[in-house]
Structure 1
Amino acid sequence: MKTHLFILLGSLLIAGCNTKDTKLQEARKAIAASNEIYFQAFVKGDSSIFIDRYAADCCIMPPGQPAICGPEAALEFFRTAYYKIGLRNGKFITTDVFGDGEEYVTEVGLWQSFDADNVMFDDGKFLVLWKKTDKGWKMFRDSFSSNHLSK
């Protein structure tokens, strides 16, 4: 009897771990797909692509300035990055994604920013808290900083 109970408990534990791993893998895939599209917003000059990466209740926390939060945050940040900074392309390099895959996961990585001549003008690191919404995984808290001292 004890052997059967031990096998049953072990099976349930393994099944629970597999479910968590599966959910985290699904989140990783969704994040990779979103990151693949992200900079197309700047290539095409289409803010709707950018806005769709974010949750409606997001906060974007750029270096050296207050957080931008709420439904207009993504549009405000896109306009600044596109028109004032001259961002036209970029790249994300995800180094880790962790969490339970249920409601939130955290992504850690590196980024690169390119201008209209495809010259890299900045790079740095980021930490994004992703939230599972009824529209899929969206950026909920986006914090990043440059690897370079500001001028």
Structure 2
Amino acid sequence: MKSSKKRLPLLMILLVCINVIVNAQLQEAKKAIAESNARYFESFVKNDSSIFINSYAEDACILAPDAPAACGREAFARFFRLAYQEYGLRNGKFITTNVYGDGKEYVTEEGYWQSFNAKGELFDDGKFLVLWKKTASGWKMFRDSFSSNHAVK
């Protein structure tokens, strides 16, 4: 009985240390996601698809509604051109409401988005879930799934 009482404080210290490490990893992921999200719509402001494409992991997929999965750099470039040329996307905003996970290899971001045209007018908004992957070059989007809050016209 005495040996288990002696182990309890050590176990508590170990649990606190693990919690601190996991929290630090998650905070690092949240910071990287916020930085990536801030750059994401720059690609549309500048009409520079490389910023958009570099937000995604090499093996990522965009899971847009009413369309097959768009996987790989060439598909990301087509997606960018479609958003820019056909939909008139020129700027936007991500509002992250939560990030789930331990920050080790993958985390999931949940939130809302807004899309603006060349006049700065809001033309679409919706919600998203993004599975982020820690890669050799930092946190990148691995699965990007989103939908509009509005019916297709």
Structure 2-normalised TM-score? Answer: 0.95
Distance 2:5 2:76 in 1: 56
| Pairing 1:5-84 to 2, within 5 Å after superposition | 5-84=7-86
Greater than 6 Å deviation, 4+ residue runs: none
Deviations 1:53-73 (A, max 9, x none): 100111001111111012323
Code of the aligned partner of 2:9: I
Q: Does 1:86 align with 2:96?
A: no
Residue 75 of structure 1 deviates from its aligned partner by 1.3
Q: Is the 8 A contact 2:104 2:134 kept in 1?
A: yes
Counterpart in the other structure of 1:107 = 109
Residue 150 of structure 1 deviates from its aligned partner by 0.3
User: What is the SS of the residue equivalent to 1:72?
Assistant: helix
Equivalent pairs, count: 151
Q: Is the 8 A contact 1:90 1:112 kept in 2?
A: yes
Code of the aligned partner of 1:148: H
Q: Is the 8 A contact 1:90 1:111 kept in 2?
A: yes
Residue identity (%): 62
Structure 1-normalised TM-score? Answer: 0.97
User: What is the SS of the residue equivalent to 2:34?
Assistant: helix
Structure 1 spans left out of the alignment, 5+ residues: none
Structure 2 spans left out of the alignment, 5+ residues: none
Q: Is the 8 A contact 1:58 1:73 kept in 2?
A: no
1:149 paired residue among 137, 148, 151: 151
User: What is the SS of the residue equivalent to 1:113?
Assistant: strand
Deviations 1:50-96 (A, max 9, x none): 11110011100111111101232321211111111110000000000
RMSD over equivalenced CA pairs, Å: 0.9
